[in-house]
A and B are shown apart, each in its own frame.
Chain A
Amino acid sequence: MADLLIQVHEVDGVAVLRPEGFINAHTVRQFELALEALVHEGKYAILLDCRLLNYISSAGLGAIMGLIETVRENGGDILLCNLQKNVFEIFDTLGFTQLYRVFATEGEALKCLNGTI
Chain B
Amino acid sequence: MRNPAEPESFRLVIPSQTRYLNLVTGMAKRASIVAGMDDATSAKVSIAVDEAVTNVIVHAYNSEADHQVDIELRFMPQSLEVHICHNGRAIRENEVVLPDPREYVKHPRKGGLGLLLMSRFMDEIRYIETGEGSECCMIKRVV
Contacts and interface: CB of A to CB of B under 8 A. Distances in A.
Given A25-B21, A26-B19, A62-B113, A57 B108 contact: no
B86 interface: no
Interface residues of B, number: 29
B121 interface: yes
Contacts of B58: 25
A99 B21 CA distance: 28
Interface string A60-86: 011001101100000000000000011
A24 B18 contact: yes
A3 interface: yes
Of the candidates B19, B46, B47, the one having the most CB atoms from chain A within 10 angstroms of its own CB is B47
**Number of chain A interface residues as a range:** 20 to 34
A22 interface: yes
Contacts of B104: 94-95
Interface in A3-54: 3, 22, 24-26
Contact of B54 (A3, A25, A61, A90): A25
A99 B120 contact: no
Q: What does DSSP make chain B's interface, helix, strand, loop or mixed?
A: helix
Interface string B1-24: 000000000000000001101100
A59 B58 CA distance: 11
Interface of A: 3, 22, 24-26, 55, 57-59, 61-62, 65-66, 68-69, 85-86, 89-90, 93-95, 98-99
A65 B105 CA distance: 11
A28 to B, nearest CB: 9
B113 A55 contact: no
A37 B113 CA distance: 25
Contact of B51 (A57, A65, A85): A57
Nearest to B104: A95
B54 A93 contact: no
A25 B21 CA distance: 8
Nearest to A87: B43
A68 to B, nearest CB: 7
B81 interface: no
B92 to A, nearest CB: 20
